[in-house]
Structure 1
């Protein structure tokens, strides 16, 4: 327990936070409790531990006694898999497969449970997207979905699970042509929950929430839920401004044109042209082709 208290104290001081500032209004943690925790005199509850981890902007498992720093090479592989969508690029897909093989061969067995969940979800997401077959992700979705539906706050790994759920639901909808009303309500509720959390997410994790919203928009489109579509556009633009990362802005503009095609064709056409212009600025020729194809399909679907 002393190790935990010392770790909390060092991390707090590294961030330059005094105890009163760290505890805020003391509704979650009093200064007296924090002093006792840091001295090793008091064992925090799981809820308190999560609060401390949130204030330190770290996953709660980092504070566990048996936590070990993740291997640098594993962190490099994970970063690449999280930040490099392949857009159907065969060479990139093969590289990602090699990275997954390396993780499973060299690191997976020694990873914490939460990290194993991240790797499992990343691999399932890639397989579902590469094959357009939801079967590769359904076992994971079935394992986690009930728990996710009962949560109002989500961890990093939770957002990956939700992204996988959205992808699988979209492909299931495409395959059978409809979803049960209960599943539609469940989808809309989960999407709303994600939107409600956007402004509360640490900036460094917003790229993941953005990808979750992109994954859920397919289902919103099929459900013809224009209000959720409009809300998602607002959240995606907020994320772009907050992170100053405009690489995915052509996709955001694509989402916008899908909304405006139902309400204002001229604005939709303007968003389509803006999306292509930004893709050219980033030199992404594959994305330009994808945008052209998507625009043609949307014109046929909505006009």
Structure 2
């Protein structure tokens, strides 16, 4: 008990959060309760523990008594898989497959449950993107979707589940050629929830929130909802400014041209040219090809 309380206190102080700031309006956790937890005088419920972990920006299992630091090599592999989109690059796809093999052979069986979910989602996302086949992700989506629809706060693994849901939903509905009313409502609600989370997210999680928004934009196209596109652009630009990470800015510009192409062709074309210019600046040839293909498809679709 004392070990948990001491860990909470140290992590809270490392983030520079006073107890009143940490507890906020005290609807989830009072300052008095936090004091008792940190002194080892009070055992938090699972719900309270999850709230504390969320405020600290860590998975809840990190606070468990039997928690062990994840192997450094596993963390390196996971970081690479999270941060390196392949844009159809076959060599990078093969490298990522090798990394997944290493994780499953050397680490997977000993990982905490939440980490296993992260690995499963990452592998499914890559498989769906590489094959344009939603079947590689539907089992996971079906397992978690109802639960996600009833949540207002999302953990790191939840965001990966939502990203997978957006990818699978887009491919599935493209093939069907229509969106049911219930699916429209579900998609719009989930996309709005992710947008609402942007400013509340930990800085280190913003790259994933950004990728979830990118994944959801295909569904925005199917919904033909220009306001969602506009909102997504605002949130994506906010993330770029907050993180000072402009590597994905060509994709944000692509989102903007998709917004304008239906109403203002000249502005859309300007955004397309800006996206290509930035992709050249970053030396991303594969992204350049993807941008050209996307522009050609949008011209055919909308003009």
Q: CA, structure 1 residues 146+277, in 2 after alignment: closer, same or farther (shift >3 Å)?
A: same
More displaced 10-residue stretch of structure 1: 35-44 or 164-173: 35-44
C-alpha deviation, 1:24, in angstroms? 4.6
CA displacement, residues 227-263 of structure 1 (integer Å, 9 cap, x when unaligned) = 1111111111111111110000001101100110111
More displaced 10-residue stretch of structure 1: 159-168 or 221-230: 221-230
Q: Match for residue 271 of structure 1?
A: 271
Q: Take 2:292 and 2:212, find their aligned partners in 1: how far apart are those partners?
A: 23
Q: Does 1:217 align with 2:217?
A: yes
Q: Take 2:155 and 2:22, find their aligned partners in 1: how far apart are those partners?
A: 21
Which runs of 5 or more structure 1 residues have no equivalent in the other structure?
none
Q: Does 1:133 align with 2:133?
A: yes
Q: Does 1:291 align with 2:291?
A: yes
Q: Match for residue 231 of structure 2?
A: 231
Which runs of 5 or more structure 2 residues have no equivalent in the other structure?
none
Query: Does the CA-based 8 Å contact 2:272-2:295 persist in structure 1?
Result: yes
Q: Match for residue 37 of structure 2?
A: 37
TM-score (norm 1): 0.96
Query: Does the CA-based 8 Å contact 2:179-2:222 persist in structure 1?
Result: no
C-alpha deviation, 1:148, in angstroms? 0.3
Q: Match for residue 151 of structure 2?
A: 151
C-alpha deviation, 1:289, in angstroms? 1.6
Q: Match for residue 171 of structure 1?
A: 171
CA displacement, residues 193-230 of structure 1 (integer Å, 9 cap, x when unaligned) = 11111111111111101111111101110221111111
Q: Take 1:193 and 1:24, find their aligned partners in 2: how far apart are those partners?
A: 21
Q: Take 1:114 and 1:37, find their aligned partners in 2: how far apart are those partners?
A: 24
CA displacement, residues 120-167 of structure 1 (integer Å, 9 cap, x when unaligned) = 000000000111100000000000000000001100000000000000
More displaced 10-residue stretch of structure 1: 2-11 or 135-144: 2-11
C-alpha deviation, 1:46, in angstroms? 2.5
TM-score (norm 2): 0.96
Q: What CA RMSD, in Å, does the superposition of the two structures yield over aligned residues?
A: 1.4
More displaced 10-residue stretch of structure 1: 192-201 or 172-181: 172-181
CA displacement, residues 161-189 of structure 1 (integer Å, 9 cap, x when unaligned) = 00000000111112111122211211111
Q: Take 1:171 and 1:241, find their aligned partners in 2: how far apart are those partners?
A: 31
Q: Count residues in correspondence.
A: 303
Q: CA, structure 1 residues 134+231, in 2 after alignment: closer, same or farther (shift >3 Å)?
A: same
1:37-76, aligned counterparts within 5 Å? 37-76=37-76
Provide the secondary structure at the position in 1 that maps to 2:184: helix
Q: CA, structure 1 residues 148+27, in 2 after alignment: closer, same or farther (shift >3 Å)?
A: closer
Query: Does the CA-based 8 Å contact 2:54-2:155 persist in structure 1?
Result: no
Q: CA, structure 1 residues 26+282, in 2 after alignment: closer, same or farther (shift >3 Å)?
A: same
Q: CA, structure 1 residues 123+267, in 2 after alignment: closer, same or farther (shift >3 Å)?
A: same
More displaced 10-residue stretch of structure 1: 114-123 or 2-11: 2-11
CA displacement, residues 77-106 of structure 1 (integer Å, 9 cap, x when unaligned) = 000000000111111001000000000011
C-alpha deviation, 1:20, in angstroms? 4.4
CA displacement, residues 265-298 of structure 1 (integer Å, 9 cap, x when unaligned) = 1110110110011011101112112111211111
Q: Does 1:110 align with 2:88?
A: no
